Each structure stands twice: as C-alpha cells, then as structure tokens.
C-alpha cells in the first residue's frame, strides 16, 4: 500500500519515506514521493487537527529509488544553487563592493570591505535584534576605496560588485548535490532545516 486519498491509492510503488512535523498543539504528516513526472517532492498525508490519520507506507522499488536518487540530486542542486547565490550577493569582509546609494560615497564607486560591525545609529527595533552578536547583526561596513580612502557607512548602501565571481561552478555544485543524494536521505526534500548542511 502507498497512500490513500479520497478512498483511492495514490503514488503506489513511489513512496520513499514518511514522517511527521510536530507543532505546539498539532502534528502534520507527510510522505516523500517520486512523482509521475520524475520529480521528488513532499506531499501532505494527514493531520491531527481533524480526523485525518496518516496512510503512507514505504513501497518504492529499487528501480524507483535509483530514479529518485537522480531526482534528489537535481533537487539538491537547485537548493545549493540558491544558497550559493545568496552567499555570493551577501556583503562580507574581504568582498569587493560597489556603492549603490548614500551621501558619503558616489554611487558606482568600488572598494573592498575591511570591517563589519554593529550599527549604533539605528534604533534597536529597526535592527530587529536586541544585542550584539559577533559575526551577526553587522549593519555597518568599513570599505577601503580604490584610491586608499577608508569610509564607513550602512551595509545596505553597498552591493557585491561581481557576485557571479563568488559562485562555485555549476559542475562543482552538481557534484556536491550528487554526493549528498547518494545517502538517499529523502527527508531533505521540502525541509528548510535539512538544507542547513549546504
């Protein structure tokens, strides 16, 4: 048996794993399946909010699991690509940046970030945090311009000059995804916390 929906079997022979997400008062159940279009996804399989017990049982064959491993590698590649894209555009120490707004420095001016720190000029509610944490909460930057001048300002006045240069190659990201997919940890699909390893 795979899963039951409205009295009918669905994803027969294609259920890879199932699990439960616990919340304060209720739980939601899910199954990870290889869809008929060849993609891997997490689907809802009941809840404790009302009378909807879980029905999924793992029944995927070895052939389906082999196909699902390739689908998992594609899924993880997209996740890695998104994560690397985010990291490449994040202003941080050592990165080459360009001014995009502000009064102190003309937009279009380039330099290198040499310092990041707490913004004492913003009210705490605007910072969305209440205390300093090393390596976090760094809304001020120090940038050494190409002419040697050092300026300090708001991090949001700067962007990474060439974010594409910071990204690993597509081949490297695909190789990483394929390595992770070999573990066949199907629960990584649809799990935000599961992607923290990337």
Direct distance between the N- and C-terminal alpha carbons of the chain, in angstroms, rounded to an integer: 34
Residue 64 lies in a domain: yes
Give per-residue pLDDT as tens, 150-178: 999 888 899 999 888 878 999 999 999 99
State pTM to two decimals.
0.77
- Report the alpha-carbon distance of residue 119 to residue 140 in Å, rounded: 5
Confidence of residue 134 (pLDDT cuts 50, 70, 90): low
Question: Are 82 and 107 part of one and the same domain?
Answer: no
| 56-70: average pLDDT | 95
Q: Provide the percentage of residues in the chain whose pLDDT is more than 70.
A: 87
Identify which has the larger pLDDT, 191 or 29: 29
- Report yes or no on 114 lying in a domain: yes
Q: How far apart are CA 31 and CA 179, in angstroms?
A: 23
DSSP secondary structure, 35-75, as one string: -TTS-EEEEEEEETTTTB---------HHHHHHHHHHHHHH
pLDDT of residue 103: 87
- Beta-carbon contacts of 155 under 8 Å, excluding residues fewer than 6 positions away, are 91, 116, 138, 139, 140, 141
Specify whether 116 is located in the same domain as 70. no
* Domain annotation covers residue 42: yes
Same domain? For 7 and 83 the reply is yes
Q: Band the pLDDT of 1: cuts 50, 70, 90.
A: low
Q: Tell me if 191 is assigned to some domain.
A: no
CB 60 within 8 A of CB 16: yes
Q: Are residues 39 and 57 in the same domain?
A: yes
Q: Which domain holds residue 10?
A: 3-88
Q: For 20-34, 60-74, 92-106, 131-145, which range has the lowest pLDDT when averaged over its residues?
A: 131-145
pLDDT in tens, 4-57: 777 788 899 999 999 998 888 899 999 999 999 999 999 999 899 888 888 899
Q: How far apart are CA 155 and CA 92, in angstroms?
A: 9
């Amino acid at each position: 048996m795979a899963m039951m929906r409205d009295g009918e079997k669905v994803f027969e022979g294609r259920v890879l794993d199932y699990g439960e997400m616990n919340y304060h008062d209720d739980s939601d159940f899910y199954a990870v399946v290889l869809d008929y279009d060849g993609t891997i996804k997490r689907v809802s399989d009941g809840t404790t909010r009302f009378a909807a017990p879980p029905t999924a049982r793992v029944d995927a064959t070895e052939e389906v699991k082999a196909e699902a491993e390739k689908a998992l590698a594609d899924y993880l590649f997209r996740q890695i690509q998104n994560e690397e894209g985010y990291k490449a555009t994040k202003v941080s120490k050592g990165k080459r940046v360009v001014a995009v707004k502000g009064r102190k420095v003309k937009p279009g001016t380039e330099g290198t970030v040499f310092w990041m720190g707490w913004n004492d000029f913003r009210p705490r509610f605007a910072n969305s945090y209440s205390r300093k944490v090393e390596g976090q909460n760094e809304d001020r930057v120090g940038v050494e311009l190409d002419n040697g001048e050092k300026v300090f300002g708001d991090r949001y006045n700067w962007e990474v000059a060439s974010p594409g240069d910071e990204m690993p190659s597509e081949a490297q990201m695909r190789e990483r995804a394929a390595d992770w997919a070999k573990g066949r940890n199907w629960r990584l699909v649809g799990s935000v916390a599961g992607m923290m390893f990337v």
